[in-house]
């Protein structure tokens, strides 16, 4: 094992699991134990044991931690890693939550706010899953699945973009994607208003996206986007795409292009899934503050 790998493993093994996450898991488990469940009261005890075993394993076994964490190293300093996984598999109910953590920021306010956000999101998802599961049990059962994951979609000297995806399945499936895009050198969160001189980018980008929607539908009859003047029948009364939001979800890819994203059902029928549109830089260069991020 070379010295870089040894150092990486040592850094990872020295990373403590946040106290907040322990409290979230244990408080939720304790609360659920106090409330009796009709079908299987041993479920929570089994989950508690599984989580305890996970925590012990990740802190004591280099092989386990190495295979589980799959740490993507971003640049030479900032890291994104999996600090916790929660798995539920009970009859018709399943949940798989993967919780990321960022570290090695000089800007600790930014680092802590990101990590707290990831913990809070996971807590809310987990508690909502348990509540929905109990409701289904009271109504003669049903199927419920929840998955949350993350991915580093951009990794270069300037930009870090982290994608978080959440998929819920009950009668139908629904996916939500969220992105955090960070200037790694200045250690600040990037937003669309930061990237552009004024609000003119809203109309400019919206026009580009509408054209791309129409072009995609012309090329593939199976694709449908809710956009006017494209021959789409039965457009939803409240779902026709007109313009992006001022703080629309986006990321900057490794080619330093702006990518605008939409969740399920926002601009297209559910079978189309989430949607992404790469915006040609020449279409927006007049509105950009500069070319430090987008080229």
- Using alpha carbons only, give the angle 247, 249, 251 rounded to the nearest 5 degrees: 115
Q: Is residue 292 in some structural domain?
A: no
Q: Is residue 60 in some structural domain?
A: yes
Residue 172's SS3 state is coil
Reported in sequence order, the residue ranges of the chain that DSSP labels E, i.e. its strands, are: 79-90, 93-103, 144-155, 159-169, 173-183, 188-189, 250-252, 258-262, 275-279
d(CA 57, CA 63): 9
User: 145: which strand partners?
Assistant: 94, 169
| pLDDT given at position 30 | 44
| Token pair belonging to 100 | 């990321």
Indicate whether 178 and 202 sit together in one domain: no
172, 174, 261 from 273: Cα distances, Å: 12, 8, 11
Over the chain, what is the mean pLDDT? 81
Q: Which domain holds residue 251?
A: 193-284
Tens of pLDDT, residue by residue over 208-252, are 999 999 999 999 999 999 998 877 877 887 779 999 999 999 999
Residue 65's SS3 state is helix
Average pLDDT over residues 27-55: 42
| pLDDT given at position 37 | 46
Q: Residue 23: which pLDDT band, with cuts at 50, 70 and 90?
A: low
Residue 170 scores a pLDDT above 70: yes
Indicate whether 226 and 160 sit together in one domain: no
Indicate whether 184 and 199 sit together in one domain: no
Average pLDDT over residues 49-63: 42
């Amino acid at each position: 094992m070379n010295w870089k790998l040894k150092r990486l493993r040592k850094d990872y093994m020295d990373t403590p699991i946040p106290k907040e996450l322990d409290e979230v898991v244990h408080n939720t488990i304790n609360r659920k134990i106090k409330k009796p469940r009709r079908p299987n009261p041993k479920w929570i005890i089994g989950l508690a044991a599984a989580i305890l075993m996970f925590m012990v394993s990740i802190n004591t076994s280099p092989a386990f931690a190495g295979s589980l964490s799959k740490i993507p190293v971003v640049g030479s300093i900032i890291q994104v890693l999996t600090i916790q996984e929660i798995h539920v598999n009970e009859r018709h109910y399943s949940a798989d939550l993967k919780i990321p953590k960022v570290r090695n920021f000089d800007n600790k306010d930014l680092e802590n706010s990101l990590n707290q956000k990831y913990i809070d999101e996971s807590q809310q998802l987990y508690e909502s899953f348990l509540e929905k599961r109990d409701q289904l049990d009271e109504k003669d059962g049903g199927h419920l699945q929840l998955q949350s994951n993350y991915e580093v979609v951009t990794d270069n000297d300037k930009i870090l973009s982290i994608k978080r995806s959440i998929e819920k399945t009950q009668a139908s499936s629904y996916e939500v994607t969220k992105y955090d895009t960070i200037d790694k050198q200045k250690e600040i969160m990037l937003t669309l208003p930061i990237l552009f001189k004024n609000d003119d980018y809203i109309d400019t980008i919206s026009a580009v996206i509408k054209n791309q929607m129409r072009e995609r539908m012309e090329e593939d009859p199976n694709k449908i986007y809710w956009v006017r003047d494209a021959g789409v029948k039965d457009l939803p009364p409240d779902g026709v795409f007109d313009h992006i939001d001022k703080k629309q979800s986006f990321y900057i890819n490794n080619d330093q292009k702006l990518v605008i994203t939409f969740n399920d059902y926002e601009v297209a029928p559910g079978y189309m899934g989430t949607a992404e549109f790469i915006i040609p830089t020449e279409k927006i260069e007049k509105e950009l503050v500069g070319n430090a991020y987008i080229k």
